[in-house]
Amino acid sequence: RIAGPGALVFFGITGDLARKKLMPAVYDLANRGLLPPNFAIVGFGRRDWTAQDFADQAREWILASARTPFNETVFAQLAAGMRFISGAFDDDGAYEQLAATLDELAESRSTGRNHAFYLSIPPSWFEVVCQKLSEHKLAKDKNPGWERVVIEKPFGHDLASARELNQIVESVFPPDAVFRIDHYLGKETVQNLLALRFGNQMFEPLWNNKYVDHVQITMAEDIGIGGRASYYDGVGAARDVIQNHLLQLLALTAMEEPISFDADHLRSEKEKVLTAVKLPEDLGAASARGQYTSGWQGAEEVVGFLDEEGFNPKSKTETYAAVKLEINTRRWSGVPFYLRAGKRLGRRVTEIAVVFKKAPNLLFTDHEDDEFGQNAFVIRVQPDEGATIRFSSKVPGTQMEIRDVTMDFGYGNAFTESSPEAYERLILDVLLGEPPLFPRHEEVEQSWRILDPFEEYWASLPTQPDPYAPGSWGPESSDELMAKDGRTWRRP
Residues lying near ligand BG6 in the complex (CB under 6 A) are found at 221, 240-241
Beta bridge partner(s), residue 288 = 322
Crossing angle of helices 23-31 and 72-80, in 10° steps, is 120
Q: Which is nearer to ligand BG6, 221 or 308 (CB)?
A: 221
Closest to 383 (Cα-Cα) out of 404, 354, 415, 411: 411
Q: Which is nearer to ligand BG6, 85 or 444 (CB)?
A: 444
Q: CA 111 to CA 138: how far, in whole Å? A: 14
> Does an H or E element contain 453, and which?
helix 441-460
> 3-state DSSP helix/strand/coil percent for the chain, to nearest 5?
40, 20, 40
287 and 458 in contact (C-beta within 8 Å)? yes
Ramachandran bin of 325, using left for φ above 0, alpha for ψ from -120 to 50, beta for the remaining angles: beta
Q: Which is nearer to ligand BG6, 214 or 380 (CB)?
A: 380
Indicate the residue type of 122. P
Indicate the residue type of 199. G
Q: Which residues contact 309 (CB under 8 A, 6 or more apart)?
A: 226, 227, 229
Q: Which is nearer to ligand BG6, 116 or 220 (CB)?
A: 220
Q: Which is nearer to ligand BG6, 139 or 185 (CB)?
A: 185
Among all residues, whose Cβ is closest to ligand BG6?
240
Q: CA 487 to CA 489: how far, in whole Å? A: 7
Tell the smallest beta-carbon distance from residue 303 to ligand BG6 (Å).
18
> Does an H or E element contain 251, and which?
helix 247-254
Q: Which is nearer to ligand BG6, 153 or 490 (CB)?
A: 153
Residue 245 catalytic? yes
Q: CA 471 to CA 343: how far, in whole Å? A: 9
121 and 150 in contact (C-beta within 8 Å)? no
Q: Which of 245, 265, 367, 441 is catalytic?
A: 245
Tell the smallest beta-carbon distance from residue 463 to ligand BG6 (Å).
24
Tell the smallest beta-carbon distance from residue 281 to ligand BG6 (Å).
30
Tell the smallest beta-carbon distance from residue 184 to ligand BG6 (Å).
7
Paired sense of beta strands 349-356 and 376-382, if any:
antiparallel
Tell the smallest beta-carbon distance from residue 241 to ligand BG6 (Å).
5
Q: Which is nearer to ligand BG6, 189 or 388 (CB)?
A: 189
Cis omega (within 30 of 0) on the bond before 383? yes
- How many angstroms separate the Cα of 431 from the Cα of each of 32, 116, 241, 293, 394? 15, 7, 26, 44, 53
362 and 227 in contact (C-beta within 8 Å)? no
273 and 255 in contact (C-beta within 8 Å)? yes
Q: Which is nearer to ligand BG6, 177 or 353 (CB)?
A: 353
- How many angstroms separate the Cα of 141 from the Cα of each of 6, 82, 109, 389? 13, 20, 17, 52
Closest to 486 (Cα-Cα) out of 324, 333, 318: 324
Total residues found in the chain within this entry: 492
Crossing angle of helices 126-135 and 92-108, in 10° steps, is 60
DSSP 27-39: HHHHHTT-S-TT-
Cis omega (within 30 of 0) on the bond before 492? no
Tell the smallest beta-carbon distance from residue 439 to ligand BG6 (Å).
13
Q: Which is nearer to ligand BG6, 78 or 353 (CB)?
A: 353
Tell the smallest beta-carbon distance from residue 221 to ligand BG6 (Å).
6
Report residue 211: phi and psi, to 5°.
-115, -25
- Annotated catalytic residues are 245
